[in-house]
């Protein structure tokens, strides 16, 4: 039941007018839309969690992880290196891409990654695998990835530090 609700909460993309500038009213409407969408997604993710045998814990950045106290661990610093991979799933638990997304020797502060992934990489231990439940705002947001992930889609991310 919850999974069908995610698809109902999809909204159409909006783009700024040809001049590229949004009015204050447009910005307020957009901000309110994102606030409402985030509230809906958080509610649906929590409902999904309630139906799972595994426990998930909220983080300060607004995603959930399957490790208690995860974002209270010591944080990796900028300019340190990490190798990692992750798989993306929708909330039907369908894998989105056949191959994992993988990075070798990425340096903190110098790579561009999904907000939730970059945050989780700061706290993950070498060799550890964690599962993240991520609202769309911390995933691919309003535009999707322009491939297989549509706009405003929350994701399950299985992340591993290599």
**Per-residue confidence at 106, pLDDT binned at 50, 70, 90?**
very high
Read off the pLDDT of each residue in 144-152 and give the average, rounded to a whole number.
93
Query: At which residue do the structure tokens 């945050």 appear?
Result: 119
Say yes or no to pLDDT of 3 above 80.
no
**Sorting pLDDT into bands at 50, 70 and 90, what band is 20?**
low
Going by pLDDT thresholds of 50, 70 and 90, the confidence category of residue 43 is very high
Q: What is the pLDDT of residue 8?
A: 45
Average pLDDT over residues 37-54: 94
Q: What pLDDT does 15 receive? A: 52
Return the pLDDT at 18: 54
Instruction: Report the percent of the chain where pLDDT is more than 90.
Output: 72
Instruction: Say if CB 152 and CB 11 are below 8 A apart.
Output: yes
pLDDT for the residue 16? 52
Cα gap 38→43, rounded to integer Å:
9
With a CB cutoff of 8 Å and minimum separation 6, the contacts of 141 are 151, 152
30 pLDDT above the threshold of 80: no
pTM: 0.82
- CA 151 to each of CA 8, 24, 128, 129, 139: distance values in angstroms, whole numbers, following the listed order: 12, 23, 30, 27, 10
Average pLDDT, the chain: 88
Query: Over 60: is that where the pLDDT of 141 sits?
Result: yes
pLDDT at position 11 is: 46
Domains and CATH numbers, the chain: 35-161 (3.10.50.40)
Q: Is the pLDDT of residue 13 over 70?
A: no
- On the question of pLDDT at 161 being above 90, the answer is yes
């Amino acid at each position: 039941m919850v999974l069908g609700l995610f698809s109902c909460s999809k909204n159409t993309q909006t783009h700024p007018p040809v001049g590229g500038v949004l009015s204050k009213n447009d910005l307020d409407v957009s901000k309110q839309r994102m606030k409402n969408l985030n509230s809906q997604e958080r509610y649906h993710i929590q409902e999904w969690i309630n139906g799972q045998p595994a426990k998930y814990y909220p983080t300060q950045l607004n995603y959930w992880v399957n490790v208690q106290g995860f974002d209270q661990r010591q944080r990796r610093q900028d300019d340190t290196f990490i190798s990692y991979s992750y798989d993306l799933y929708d909330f039907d638990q369908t894998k989105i891409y056949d191959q994992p997304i993988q990075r070798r020797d990425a340096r903190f502060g110098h790579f561009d990654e999904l907000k939730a992934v970059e945050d989780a990489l700061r706290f993950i231990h070498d060799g550890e695998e964690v599962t993240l439940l991520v609202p769309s705002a911390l995933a691919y947001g309003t535009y999707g990835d322009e491939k297989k992930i549509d706009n405003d889609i929350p994701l399950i991310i299985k992340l591993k530090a290599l």
